[in-house]
Amino acid sequence: MRVPILKLGRVLLTSLPADLTDQQVMDLQIDALALLRDDRADGLVIDITAVDVVDSYMARVLSETAKMVGIMGGVAVLAGMRPAVALTLVEMGQNLIQMETAFDLEGGVAKVQRAMATRGGHRDEPPEV
């Protein structure tokens, strides 16, 4: 099952389930990039409040997704990391998470909006049909 991605204004929101296969993480990357490409949004907030394991693979795919979103012109923020997950990632070393982060979904959305405002990177809303 693919992880649903919601849209709030010009921001994409997704909340990852507790258990996620490698394929689901990769599908999420593809889906999010496709939505940005189709001019549906300027940024992406990935909420991981429910996620209790972020291993090196997931950290890498998330960081790469953020990098891809960035070079396309948008911003991706990882929100809601649990303390135990943060502690484990730090112990694993190597700066596994290389992307913007926020305490929660709300903070993530604010961060995307602020970043887009600073960059002046807002794309015009598509014309009403």
Partner 1 sequence: MTNHPRSEFPDETSAILVSVVEIHGQEDILIARQAGRDAARNIGLGTVDQTRLATVISELARNALRYAGGGQCRITTQVAVLTRTIVLEIEDRGPGIDNVTAALTPGFSTGGGLGLGMSAVLRLMDDMIVETRPGRTMIRAQMVRHT
Q: Which residues bind partner 1 (CB under 8 A)?
A: 19, 21-23, 52-57, 60, 82-85, 87-88, 91-94, 96
Distance CA 116, CA 75 (A): 7
How far apart are CB 51 and partner 1 at their closest, in Å? 10
The residue (of 40 and 60) whose beta carbon lies closer to partner 1 is 60
Tokens of 50: 């429910």
Give the separation between CA 117 and CA 78, rounded to whole angstroms: 19
Nearest distance, CB of residue 15 and partner 1, angstroms:
18
Nearer to partner 1, 52 or 106 (CB): 52
Cβ 121 to partner 1 shortest distance, Å: 29
User: Is 83 or 126 the residue whose CB approaches partner 1 more closely?
Assistant: 83
Q: Which is nearer to partner 1, 8 or 87 (CB)?
A: 87
Beta partners for residue 45, in sequence order: 13, 77
State the nearest-atom distance from the C-beta of 95 to partner 1, in Å.
10
